[in-house]
């Protein structure tokens, strides 16, 4: 994997020492929790350097403010953001740090609140876009964790109400050294509404553009939540359209086990709904250029594999 890992400023000897320390427990974690062997190259070139960087950022934050690091992880469906967060948490645990993982999905409004939203505006037919989350709850939880106070971290049960989902019992987190907030639009900011006048497909009709503008307006409510993030890592597929292919593969695998799933046509409508709400070219692409607030970008290929790590504005180089 190519990348800018040299910019993480850790010696080969230090990486080698930590690799030997971490590999056995991470191999066991990958087999039992992810169902596959720990990939040695990805561990060496991506996961371990990132974990070491997170450890350094956390120490810097703690030395200055005596509080945890709040780390944002942005990635669309199939990019591996949840897996990355889980693996980094396991590595950091081995390094003696406690990690609290929160998904933007955990902040969904209750089933009842989302039903009322849909009655007022039927365009919010699926959970996911800005407007379907309890932003105030997310802010309150992050502020508690930032102040090193115990917090009831919300959890969401996607299987409730026939798959519509609802709040589950919260998890009491007494202390965290690092907090991950991960999700498909974490850190994304509103764009100039004029961008929708010439937006790419599937934003093709006046109704499409009106919905996109409404979601763009609702995204402003999330800015106080993003302002609590100390750092941001972006997982970016080399082609955003891979998400449709990845969703089809996931549905086909699920149906092969005898479980119900969506048809390819239903998948297309589902994925394009999210593109209409926050189109990747309008909202994610700006996070990849040199003026981006992101600290690192991880490029993902068609096979879900990380192929490049770089800092926006810096040319990638071999590790």
pLDDT in tens, 156-195: 999 899 889 999 999 999 999 999 999 999 999 999 999 9
**pLDDT computed for residue 1 by the predictor:** 66
- pTM of the predicted protein model: 0.93
Structural domain includes residue 74: no
**pLDDT computed for residue 6 by the predictor:** 45
pLDDT-derived band at 153 (thresholds 50, 70, 90) equals: very high
Structural domain includes residue 125: yes
**pLDDT computed for residue 8 by the predictor:** 60
Mean pLDDT of the chain: 92
Structural domain includes residue 162: yes
**pLDDT computed for residue 3 by the predictor:** 57
Structural domain includes residue 295: no
307 contacts: CB under 8 Å, gap ≥ 6 = 1, 2, 238, 299, 300, 301
Q: At what angle do helices 81-94 and 48-65 cross, to 10 degrees?
A: 70
Structure tokens at 162: 């026939």
Structural domain includes residue 128: yes
Structural domain includes residue 136: yes
Q: Which of 49-53, 257-261, 267-271, 274-278 has the lowest mean pLDDT?
A: 257-261
pLDDT in tens, 278-308: 999 999 998 988 778 899 999 999 999 999 9
Domain encompassing residue 129: 105-176
pLDDT(316) > 60: no
* DSSP secondary structure string for all residues of the chain: -EE-GGGG---HHHHHHHHHHHHHHHHHHIIIIISS---HHHIIIIIHHHHHHHHHHHHHHHHHHSS-EEEEEEE-TTS-HHHHHHHHHHHHHHTT--EEEEEGGGGBPPHHHHHHHHHH-TT--SS-STTSB-HHHHHHHHHHHHTT--EEEEEEETTHHHHT-EEEEEEEE---SEEEEEETTTT-----GGGGGGPPTT--SHHHHHHHHHHHHHHGGGHHHHTT-SEEEEEEESSTTHHHHHHHHHHHHHHHTT-----HHHHHHHHHHHHHHS-HHHHTGGGGSTT-S-SEEEEE-TTS-EEEEE-TTS-----
Classify burial at 201, counting beta carbons within 10 Å of its beta carbon; exposed 0-12, middle 13-18, buried 19 or more: exposed
pLDDT in tens, 194-252: 999 999 999 999 999 999 999 999 999 999 999 999 999 999 999 999 999 999 998 88
Structural domain includes residue 170: yes
pLDDT in tens, 2-23: 655 444 666 778 888 889 999 9
What gap in Å lies between CA 116 and CA 110, rounded to an integer?
10
Pick 74 or 78 by higher pLDDT: 74
Torsion region of 131: left, alpha or beta (phi above 0 gives left; psi -120 to 50 gives alpha): left
Structural domain includes residue 213: no
Q: Domain count of the chain?
A: 1
């Amino acid at each position: 994997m190519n990348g800018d890992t040299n910019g993480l400023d850790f010696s080969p000897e230090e990486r080698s020492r930590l690799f030997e320390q971490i590999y056995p427990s991470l191999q066991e974690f990958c087999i039992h929790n992810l169902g596959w062997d720990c990939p040695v190259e990805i561990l060496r070139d991506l996961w371990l350097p990132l974990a070491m960087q997170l450890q350094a950022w956390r120490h810097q934050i703690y030395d200055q403010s005596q509080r945890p690091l709040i780390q944002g992880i942005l990635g669309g469906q199939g990019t591996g953001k949840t897996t990355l967060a889980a693996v980094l948490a396991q590595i950091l645990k081995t390094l003696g740090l406690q990690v609290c993982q929160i998904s933007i999905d955990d902040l969904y409004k209750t089933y009842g609140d989302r039903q009322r939203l849909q009655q007022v505006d039927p365009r919010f037919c699926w959970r996911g876009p800005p407007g379907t989350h309890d932003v105030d709850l997310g802010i309150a939880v992050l502020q508690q964790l930032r102040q090193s106070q115990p917090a009831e971290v919300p959890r969401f049960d996607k299987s409730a109400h026939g798959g519509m989902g609802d709040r589950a019992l919260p998890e009491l987190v007494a202390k965290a050294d690092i907090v991950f907030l991960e999700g498909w639009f974490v850190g994304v900011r509103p764009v100039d509404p004029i961008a929708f006048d010439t937006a790419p497909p599937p934003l093709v009709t006046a109704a499409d553009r009106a919905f996109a503008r409404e979601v763009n307006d609702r995204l402003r409510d999330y800015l106080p939540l993003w302002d609590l993030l100390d750092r941001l890592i972006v997982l970016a597929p080399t082609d955003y359209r891979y998400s449709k292919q990845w969703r089809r593969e996931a549905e086909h695998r699920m149906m092969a086990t005898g479980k119900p799933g969506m048809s390819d046509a239903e998948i297309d409508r589902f994925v394009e709904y999210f593109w209409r709400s926050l189109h990747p070219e309008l909202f994610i692409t700006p996070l990849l250029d040199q003026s981006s607030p992101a600290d690192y970008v991880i490029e993902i290929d068609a096979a879900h594999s990380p192929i490049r790590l770089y800092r926006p504005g810096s040319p990638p180089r071999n590790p």
